[in-house]
């Protein structure tokens, strides 16, 4: 497969939605259920994009974002944050964050954010703009 997306999300239903939709775009998806698992997976693929659940149990999201970037040797990798509530304002006004999806989100919103973060104009979103999943 081509590009790799690391999805660090504790909810299996959202991981399933993410995997199904992103694999349909031809992306390889690696799923992590915790901070430790996500950091471990960084050794298996260098992600082109990270989807990060801000509500991982016991995790300080800003610290984790810094750790992810450090593990990637400072290579810029866009991060889309996922949360039930709007993320902390400081997180959204940083170059480290490429976007935010508020849970629950539609598959079309996920695909739109991912294509934008990957800066891929050829990204073929298989959903019509008005359709919500």
Residue 128 has pLDDT above 50, yes or no: no
Q: Which residues contact 75 (CB under 8 A, 6 or more apart)?
A: 46
Per-residue pLDDT tens over the stretch 89-115: 556 556 668 888 999 999 999 999 999
Q: What is the pLDDT at residue 97?
A: 82
Separation of alpha carbons 117 and 111, rounded Å: 10
Look at the domain 4-117 and name its fold.
Rossmann fold (3.40.50)
Pairing state between β 4-8 and 28-32: parallel
Average pLDDT of span 71-77: 84
Q: In whole angstroms, what is the distance from residue 78 CA to residue 57 CA?
A: 22
pLDDT tens digits, residue range 15-69? 999 999 999 999 999 999 999 999 999 878 899 999 999 889 998 888 888 888 8
Confidence of residue 131 (pLDDT cuts 50, 70, 90): very low
């Amino acid at each position: 497969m081509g590009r790799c997306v690391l999805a660090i999300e504790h909810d299996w239903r959202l991981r399933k939605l993410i995997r199904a939709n992103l694999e349909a775009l031809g992306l390889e998806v690696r799923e992590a259920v915790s901070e430790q698992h996500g950091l471990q997976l960084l050794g298996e693929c260098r992600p082109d994009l990270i989807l990060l659940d801000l509500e991982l149990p016991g995790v300080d999201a800003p610290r984790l974002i810094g750790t992810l970037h450090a593990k990637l040797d400072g290579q810029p990798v866009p991060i889309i944050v996922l949360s039930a509530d709007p993320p902390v304002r400081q997180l959204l006004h940083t170059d480290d964050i490429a976007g935010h999806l508020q849970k629950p989100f539609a598959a079309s919103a996920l695909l739109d954010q991912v294509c934008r973060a990957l800066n891929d104009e050829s990204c073929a979103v298989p959903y019509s703009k008005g359709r919500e999943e």
